[in-house]
Amino acid sequence: MVHTALTVAGSDNSGGAGIQADLKVFSAFGVYGMSAVTSITVQNSLGVISSSPVPSQLVYEQIRAVVEDIGADAVKIGMLQTEENVIAVYQAVVDFGIKNIVVDTVVKSKNGKFLLDESAVNTFVKKIIPVSDILTPNIDEAELITGIEIKSIDDMKKTAVEISKMGVDTVIVKGGHLPRGKKVVDVVYHEGEFLLMEYPYVETKNTHGTGCTFSSAITACLSKGMDRIKAIRIARAYVQGAIENSLSLGKGRGSLNHFWTVI
């Protein structure tokens, strides 16, 4: 049986993040990957230089072309950039009854450049979060969405609960931006209960595309029929290995090694 997954995200010409990373992850998991490009970025290991959104009607039609023909067992949503694209993706989800949706809340790049127009954040919260099954914000994104300052695990739990009230069943607040000594703690909130995932903190600058990789790994697992908690656990372990075996490419932040293992 062939399992299929669709990534709706921006293109990273340097290959470490965006649809390029997502398709690598799908391949590593033995899943047939497809894409709907939302934005063309100009970037490298030093950061995002510029970006140009794909017209919203083309985004919608890309999704239509895939799901009406091949279908998608699971879908990852990443960088959308504009309010028009947010609305187009939401409409596609509704029109085509798309399920198993994992959303990576791509708002800013690591060098601080907005990847979602500030004017589109409220629409994203109102449209995309309620149709999501799993949301994977990092600390900064969780703070932006909720207005809660995060300085502790308890704060991460509070934001996870608040985000779940926005309509998403499962929230993962990633702790990579808030290391606890030699540990990184991710907070998962699922069906009213918390799961804390602890992993060793890896001393490396090669973290380009970590969020994309995690969300697409969860998507790949869901496409294979795994339940959410199992999918999240396997994806997190995969990301840990990808970071520990990361690639020193370029002059800035290198990429994760998406093929450190083939699952």
Q: Say if 259 falls within a structural domain.
A: no
Amino acid at 260: W
What's the pLDDT at 176? 84
Q: What is the extent of the structural domain holding 93?
A: 4-244
The set of catalytic residues is 174, 207, 209-212
Q: Say if 255 falls within a structural domain.
A: no
Q: Say if 254 falls within a structural domain.
A: no
- Under 8 Å between Cβ of 102 and 222: yes
Q: Say if 159 falls within a structural domain.
A: yes
Residue 224 belongs to domain with CATH number: 3.40.1190.20
What's the pLDDT at 115? 80
**Helix 83-96 / helix 56-67 crossing angle, nearest 10 deg:** 20
Q: Say if 95 falls within a structural domain.
A: yes
Q: Is this prediction's pTM over 0.75?
A: yes
Rounded to a whole number of angstroms, the CA Rg of the chain reads 17
Amino acid at 114: F
What's the pLDDT at 181? 77
Q: Say if 216 falls within a structural domain.
A: yes
Amino acid at 228: R
- The CA distance from 99 to 138, in Å, is 23
- The CA distance from 135 to 191, in Å, is 14
What's the pLDDT at 110? 65
Q: Say if 252 falls within a structural domain.
A: no
Amino acid at 201: Y
- Class of residue 209 by CB neighbours under 10 A (exposed 0-12, middle 13-18, buried 19+): buried
What's the pLDDT at 167? 96
- Between CA 30 and CA 33, with CA 31 as vertex, the angle to 5 degrees is 135
pLDDT, one tens digit for every residue, the chain (263 residues): 899 999 999 999 999 999 999 999 999 999 999 999 999 999 999 999 999 999 999 999 999 999 999 999 999 999 999 999 999 999 999 999 999 999 999 886 666 667 889 889 999 999 999 999 999 999 999 999 999 999 999 999 999 999 999 999 999 999 987 877 789 999 999 999 999 999 999 999 999 999 999 999 999 999 999 999 999 999 999 999 999 999 999 999 999 999 999 87
- Beta-carbon count within 10 A of 205 CB: 11
Number of domains in the chain: 1
Q: What are the start-end ranges of the H helices in the chain?
A: 18-28, 56-67, 83-96, 121-127, 139-146, 153-164, 210-223, 228-244
Both tokens of residue 206?
């090669």
Q: Any residues with CB less than 8 A from the CB of 98 and at least 6 apart, and which?
A: 63, 67, 72, 75, 92
